[in-house]
Structure 1
Amino acid sequence: MKKIIYILPLLFSLSIIGQTENSKKKIRIELLTIEKKTKDTLIGSFTEIYSGHKRIKAKCCTDFDGIDIFYIDTKDIVDNSIYMKIYGRKCKPYKKKFSIKDDLKTTVYLKYGKTEYNTKIKDFEMMFKKLNIETDSFNCGDS
């Protein structure tokens, strides 16, 4: 019985610590890329994410619905803001800053225009040479 008296406060304090700890370790970002004029979804768009003047993630690529879902560690986000650069095939590169405190679901409207990224053959050049996307993170739709 004496042991139970000592164990109960220990268990109670552990449950309090478990509840107060920040359980949100990653932010989920769902990105839909659409061409502004034609409203076509853009397949194979690349995304770079920066926070605090540092690139924290580079992603390939949007799926057939123009959607890319990925996760960012909250410890990498500086001042609750991220800056995204999105490269769509045959589209001008797009840049936008987001204030981020929780999961983000957004639609990005790219415009057809002058770009280096015009063909599917340019995918690998874009991934490996220009954006330095590691082969580990090459899986589309993965985190």
Structure 2
Amino acid sequence: MKNIIYILFLLFSLSIIGQTENIKKDFRVDLLTIEKNTRDTLIGTFTEIYSGSKRIEAKCCTDFDGIDIFYINPKDIVDNRIYMKFYGRKCKPYKKKFIIRGDLKTTIYLKYGKTKYNNKIQDFEMMFKKLNIEHDNFRCGTVN
């Protein structure tokens, strides 16, 4: 009887160890985009993410609250550094560098100014012609 308890404990422990992930998870990036002077949230801001000399991804776009949430694979990041370019409607393009070692939550302040991206109609031109953004695969309720 004593041996059966040890064997059950060993089998139970092995099944738990086998289910734990030992890989590095994607970094979560939470962005809030705001116009610097008026403090208005900016809807429809596009983001390009670079690391090293390579573009990792281009994201479309912030929601009605100026929020965009996406994930970056740690394998794509060179020397823990990324930089992002932001394109907000009626705002000057903006570039910012980040050192990333984990999840990132930040606020981006854009300024109104000269740009080619001024209205919602130009969203598709910005997405497909300039940034070559592919449709997002949402992770709603899925487990990898």
Partner of 1:93: 93
- Which contiguous aligned blocks of 4+ residues in structure 1 show a shift greater than 4 angstroms? 8-20
CA RMSD of superposed structures (Å):
2.7
Quote the Cα distance in structure 1 between the aligned partners of 2:21 and 2:129: 44
Quote the Cα distance in structure 2 between the aligned partners of 1:17 and 1:25: 17
Quote the Cα distance in structure 2 between the aligned partners of 1:35 and 1:96: 15
Partner of 2:58: 58
1:18 Cα offset (Å): 7.7
After superposition, give the CA deviation of every residue in 1:44-63 in whole Å (9 maximum; x if it has no partner).
00000000110101000000
Which amino acid is the alignment partner of residue 91 of structure 2? C
Please give the TM-score of this superposition, normalised by the length of structure 1.
Answer: 0.82
1:10 Cα offset (Å): 10
Please give the TM-score of this superposition, normalised by the length of structure 2.
Answer: 0.81
SS at match of 1:38: coil
1:21 Cα offset (Å): 3.2
After superposition, give the CA deviation of every residue in 1:47-101 in whole Å (9 maximum; x if it has no partner).
0000011010100000000000000111001100101000000000010000000
Gaps (5+ residues) in structure 2? 1-5
Aligned length: 137
Quote the Cα distance in structure 1 between the aligned partners of 2:130 and 2:25: 29
Gaps (5+ residues) in structure 1? none
Quote the Cα distance in structure 1 between the aligned partners of 2:71 and 2:125: 24
1:20 to 1:47, Cα distance in 2 relative to 1, 3 A: closer
1:121 to 1:77, Cα distance in 2 relative to 1, 3 A: same
- Alignment of structure 1 residues 26-105 onto 2, 5 Å: 26-105=26-105
